[in-house]
Structure 1
Amino acid sequence: MSGRVAYLDSSALVKLVVSEPESRALFEFLADWPDRVVSALARVEVPRALARAHASRAAHRRAQATLAHVVVIGIDDDVLSRAARVEPRSLRSLDALHLATAIGLGEDLGVFVTYDDRLAAAAARAALRVEAPG
C-alpha cells in the first residue's frame, strides 16, 4: 500500500493521550502522517480504556481533542460485511471491525498502527503495512 493515510486503532490512540513508553516514538512517527483515520469504535474503546486505567480527567479531555482531529469512519454495512469475512476467523470481533475499516480505505491507506499483537498479525496477513513505533 502506498497511500497517505494512517489508520490508528484504539491501542495507538491511548498512547497519544496517556504517557506510555511508546508515546514519544508514536508522536514522532505520526509527524509524517498528517492524515489520520480511526474507526468509530475508538469513541467507545478509548474512553473505556482510560476509565479502566483510572486516567485523569485531563487524559479524557485529551482523548476527546484527539478524536476531534482525526477522521472517524462509521461502522456501516460494508464495514460489517468485511469484518465478518476477514482472516483469521479467530480474530476478535472488535479487532475485525478495525481491520475491516482500514481495508475499506483501499489505496488511500498507507499504514496501520496498532500495539495489539493479534490485530497486527491479522493486518499483516491482509498485506497491510503495520507499525508499532517504539
Structure 2
Amino acid sequence: MQCCNRGPKVIYLDTSALVKRYVEERGSEIIHTFFEKEEGKFTAKIAYVEALAAFSRRRREGGISGNDYVSLCHLFESEWETYMDIVELTDEVLKATRRLIDSYPLRGLDAIHLASALLIRDKTREEITFICSDKNLLDAA
C-alpha cells in the first residue's frame, strides 16, 4: 500500500485501504494510524458495498469464520458514518470519471474513487493524501 504524499489534513481511502481497518493484512498498521488522527477521512459511497463484498468473499474463502464475519460487518456498519465522510455518487462525480477513464487505465469503480477524491480536493482546497493498494489507481492519482 502506498500514499501519494505525507502529512495530510485530508485523506481519501479507496475500498482496498478501508478494508485494512477491519481485516489485518499488509498495510493495516498504516490505516490504524490514520484513524487515530483528527484529519478528515473520506471515501466514496460505493465503498460501503465494496467493503461488505470483500468481507463476504473472505468468509466464503475461509479467511474468516462466520461469527467473525458477522462481528466485522457490524463494526464496519457502526463506524461507516462515524469515522468517514461519505462522498455521494453525484452527476459531478460521474462526469469526472469520463475524463479519468479517457486519460488513465482505470476500472469503473476506481475511476469513481479518484473522481470523488478530486471533488473533495477541489471543495476543501486542501491537499489530499490518496490511499490505495492499486498501482494503476495510485499512478492516476
Q: Considering the TM-score relative to the shorter chain, is it more than 0.5? A: yes
Offset from partner CA, 1:93-131 (integer Å, 9 cap, x none): 1100000000111223421111111111111xxxxxxxx
Which residue type is aligned with residue 81 of structure 1?
K
RMSD: 2.0
After TM superposition, what 4+ stretches of structure 1 lie above 4 angstroms from structure 2?
none
The unaligned stretches of length 5 or more in structure 2 are none
Aligned equivalent of 2:32? 27
Q: Secondary structure at the match of 1:101?
A: helix
- Which residue number in structure 2 is paired with residue 52 of structure 1? 57
Q: Structure 2-normalised TM-score?
A: 0.78
- Check whether the contact 1:102–1:109 (CA below 8 A) recurs between aligned residues: no
State the match for 2:86 in structure 1: 72
Shift in alpha-carbon separation, 1:112–1:60, aligned structure 2, 3 A: same
Does the aligned pair in 1 maintain the 2:97–2:111 contact within 8 Å? yes
TM-score, length of structure 1 as denominator length: 0.81
CA distance 1:119–1:76, shift in 2 (3 Å): same
Contact 1:39 1:75 in 2 (8 A): yes
CA contact (8 A) 2:100 2:115 kept: yes
Return the alpha-carbon distance in structure 1 between the equivalents of residues 138 and 24 of structure 2. 22
Q: Say whether residues 1:83 and 2:97 are aligned partners.
A: yes
The one-letter amino acid of 2:32's match is F
Alignment size in residue pairs: 123
Structure 2 counterpart of 1:76, one-letter code: T
Which residue of 1 is the match for residue 133 of structure 2?
115
Alignment of 1:8-23 (within 5 A): 8-23=13-28
Distance 2:90 2:34 in 1: 30
Letter in 2 for 1:40: K
Structure 2 distance, partners of 1:66, 1:10, is: 14
Residue 63 (structure 1) aligned with residue 79 (structure 2): no
Q: Is the 8 A contact 2:104 2:140 kept in 1?
A: no
| 1:59 partner amino acid | L
Output the amino acid matched with 1:101. Answer: S
1:102 equivalent in structure 2: 117
**C-alpha separation between the residues in 2 aligned to 1:109 and 1:33?**
15
